[in-house]
Chains A and B, each alone.
Chain A
Amino acid sequence: MVEPLVRLDKITKVFGDGPTAFQALRGIDLAVEGGDFVAIMGASGSGKSTAMNILGCLDTPTSGRYFFKGVEVQALTRDQRALLRRRYIGFVFQGFNLLPRMSALENVELPLIYRGEPAARRKSFAMAALAQVGLEPWASHKSNELSGGQQQRVAIARAIVTRPQMLLADEPTGNLDSETSFEIMRLLRELNRGLAVTVIMITHEAEMAAFASSVVRLRDGLVEQRELAS
C-alpha cells in the first residue's frame, strides 16, 4: 500500500488538565492522498481548528500518530516542524496575515527569505506566484492598499511560492463577500488541479465546500462522515 501524503492515526488532543481539561479531538483517523482537495466542515467546537493546527505541524497531538510523507510529525522537535512547514506546507489564513508596510511582492518573498534563496531568484519566483493569482500588476503595492480579495490572493501567492505539497486554508473566505469568495475558491481549485498541490480547507459554508473533491465532517472531536463532494 502506498503511504498517503497525510495520515492521522487515532489523534487526540486535550487542552488543560484536571477537571477543567477539554478534549478537542477524541481519536481522529484521516488519510489524504497527494493531489486531493479536502474540505473540513463542522460546527464551532467540533475540533476542526485543532485538527488543522495539528495537520499544519503547528501543534502536536496528545496521543496518536501523525504521518506526513511517512514522517512521524509528533516525534519532531519544534525546529524540525518549522523546517517541515517551510519546505512542504503553505498556509492561507482567514485574516490574510500579510505583513503591513510591505509590498505584495515582499510579502510573497518572505518564505523564500527563510529558505535562503538569493534576491534575484526570490523576485522571479515571487513574481511568478503573483502572476498565478493574477496580481502581477499589483506587486509593488503595499499590502494594506489592496482589497480583501486581493490580499487573500497575495496570501495564496505567498503560500504557493515555495511549491509546497500541501496548502492549508483556514476559512479562507471567512472575511470576504460571496462573489470574491467564489473567485478565491476557483483559484484554489485551479491551483489544486494545475499544480497538483494538495489542499485541505476548513470552512463552514457548504457552497465553498462544494469546490472540494471530498468533505470531512467533524462533530465533537470525531470524524462523523467523509463523503465525496457533490
Chain B
Amino acid sequence: MNNVSLRRDRHVLFLAIRQIYRHRTRSLLTVLGVVIGVFSVITMVTLGNGATEAVRASISALGSDLLTIRPGQSAGPGGGSGGGPFDLADVEAIRGQIGGVVVVAGQAQTAGVAVRNAQSWSTTITGTTNEFFRAQRLTIGAGREFTHEEEEAGKRVCIIGATIVANLFQNTDPIGQVFRVRGISCEVVGVLEERGQNGFGGDLDDTIIMPLKAVQRQLTGNHDIGAIAVGVDPTFNSAAIQAAIVALLRERRNLDPTQDDDFSVLDAKQIADTISGTVGILTLLVGAVAGISLLVGGIGIMNIMLVSVTERTREIGTRLAIGALGDEVLLQFLVEAVVLSCLGGLVGMVIALIICITAAPLIGVPFLFDAQINFLSFFFSAAIGIGFGYFPARRAAGLNPIEALRYD
C-alpha cells in the first residue's frame, strides 16, 4: 500500500489494569458481588463437605461392617410396633446358618439407676457377650472382657463407659469396685475406651455392659433379645448377607409371603451413605443458591461497566481518534471486566478459606479443602467477567468517534 504503513501493534492489556487501579474504590464496589458469590459458594460447599464427612465418620464409628437387627419396622432405638423380640435360638441360627457372618451378639437392654456411695446415675444397661465388642468395634481400655465362665453363669460383673466412671467413681480407678444397679450389686471388671458423642449428640460412653444372662435373669426376667448385632466379613457382600438374614428370620417367625417383615435389618454403612447423601444434596442446594449470588455479582459488573462506558464516552472517542482500533477498545474493556471478576474471585476464595478454617472447628466439622469447588468458582467468576463484560465492551468499541468526541 504505497509508502503508507498500516502495521498493527498490540499493547493494550495493561491499559485495563491501570484503569482498575486508578478507580480503586469503584473497582472494589464493582467486584463486591463476585467476592460475596465466590465466598458463599466455597464456604457453603466446604463446610457442607465437612458436615458430610463428620456424619460419615461418626456413623462408621459404630462399625462399618455391622448389621443391627431389631424387632418391628422402626429404625429408631427401642424397636417399633409389630413383631415380638428375638431369643437365643435366633442368634444361634444366624451364627450357624448364614455365611460371611463373623460375630453375632444378642443384646438385652434395659434402663436403670446405678448407685455407688452417695452417687446415682441413670443410664442404660446392655446384656450381651464378648462378641458385642467385636461387632461394635469397642475397645476395653482398662481391665478385661468377660470370662467364659462369667458369661455362662451370668455373673454380676460389668464393663462400663467413661461417663459412668466420671459420675459414679469421680474418675478414680473403678476396676474391682462394686456398685448397685436396679437393686443388684455388680463388680466392675473393665472400662471401655472413651468414644465421645455419636453423630446425633448421644453419649456413647454412657453405658453399662453386663453378661447377657445376668441381665436376663436379674433385671429383665425373661429370655428376650431386643437386638442382634452382626459383624460381617468385609469381603462379603453385606446386601446378600442382609437378604439371607431376612429370609432366615421370616422363616423362623413364620411369616407368610403376603406379610411384611416384622423386624428390620440396618446396615450401618447404608445409614451412613443415606445420611451423608442427604447432607450432600443439601450442600449442593445451598451451593446452588450461593451460585445465584455469583450470577447476580456478574450482573453487577455488567451494570458498572455499562455506566463506565457511558461515562467514558469522550475518552473512548479520544482513543479512537488518536488511532485505537475498535478491537483494542473492546479488549481493554473486556480485560478490565475479566481482571476485575478474577480479582473478585481470588478475594472471595481467600476470605472463604479463612472463614472455613476458622468456622469448621467452631461448628464441629473437619476442614476439607475442596480444590474442585475452588477451581470451579474461580473459573466461573472469570467466565462471568467475559460473559457480562462483553456487552459493554462491544458497545464501547462500536462507538462512532465523531459522536463520542462531542458527547458531554
| Residues of A bordering B, CB below 8 Å | 53, 56, 58-59, 68-71, 78-80, 82-91, 93, 95, 97, 99-102, 110-111, 113-117, 158
Contact = CB atoms under 8 A, between A and B. Distances in A.
A99 B318 contact: yes
Contacts of A70: 2-4
Nearest to A93: B405
A87 B323 contact: yes
A97 B317 contact: yes
B22 to A, nearest CB: 5
B386 interface: no
A111 B12 contact: no
Interface in B1-44: 1-12, 15, 22
Contacts of A80: 6
Nearest to A68: B4
Given A70-B3, A80-B6, A93-B318, 6 more contacts: A69-B2, A79-B327, A86-B323, A89-B323, A90-B322, A114-B12
B363 to A, nearest CB: 46
B344 interface: no
Contact of A97 (B11, B318, B325): B318
Contacts of B314: 95, 97
Nearest to B401: A58
Nearest to A113: B11
Contacts of B7: 83, 87
A114 B402 CA distance: 19
A116 B9 contact: yes
Contacts of B15: 113
A78 B324 CA distance: 11
Contacts of A83: 6-8, 323, 325
Interface string B283-301: 0000000000000000000
Contacts of B315: 99-100
Interface in B210-234: none
11 contacts: A69-B3, A71-B4, A78-B326, A79-B326, A83-B323, A84-B323, A87-B5, A91-B321, A93-B405, A110-B322, A114-B322
A159 to B, nearest CB: 8
B2 A82 contact: no
B402 A85 contact: no
Contacts, number: 87
Given A78-B326, A101-B22, A116 B10 contact: yes
B73 to A, nearest CB: 74
Interface in B265-322: 314-315, 317-322
A115 B324 contact: no
Contact of B9 (A53, A90, A114): A114
A82 B318 CA distance: 12
Given A58-B402, A99-B318, A116-B10, A84 B327 contact: no
Interface residues of B, number: 31
Contacts of A113: 11-12, 15
Contacts of B1: 71
B11 A82 contact: no
A53 B402 contact: yes
Contact of A82 (B10, B12, B317, B324): B324
Contacts of B3: 69-70
B217 to A, nearest CB: 92
A115 B2 contact: no
Contacts of B6: 80, 83-84, 87
Given A58-B401, A87-B5, A97-B405, A82 B22 contact: no
B261 interface: no
A84 B325 CA distance: 11
Q: Which of A83, A84, A87 has the most CB of B within 10 A?
A: A83
Nearest to B318: A97
A82 B321 CA distance: 7
A86 B405 contact: no
Contact of A115 (B9, B22, B327): B9
B151 interface: no
Contact of B4 (A78, A84, A114): A84
B328 interface: yes
Nearest to B8: A83
A177 to B, nearest CB: 22
Contact of A88 (B4, B8, B327): B4
A82 B326 contact: yes
B292 to A, nearest CB: 35
A75 to B, nearest CB: 11
A116 B10 CA distance: 6
A127 B59 CA distance: 74
Given A113-B12, A113-B15, A86 B4 contact: no
A59 B403 CA distance: 11
Nearest to A76: B6
A56 B321 contact: yes
Q: Counting chain B CB atoms within 10 Å of each CB, which of A68, A82, A83, A89 scores highest? A: A82
A45 to B, nearest CB: 16
Contact of B323 (A82, A97, A101, A102): A82
Nearest to A90: B322
Contacts of B12: 113-114
Nearest to A77: B6
A111 B322 contact: yes
A132 B3 CA distance: 28
B2 to A, nearest CB: 5
Nearest to A158: B322
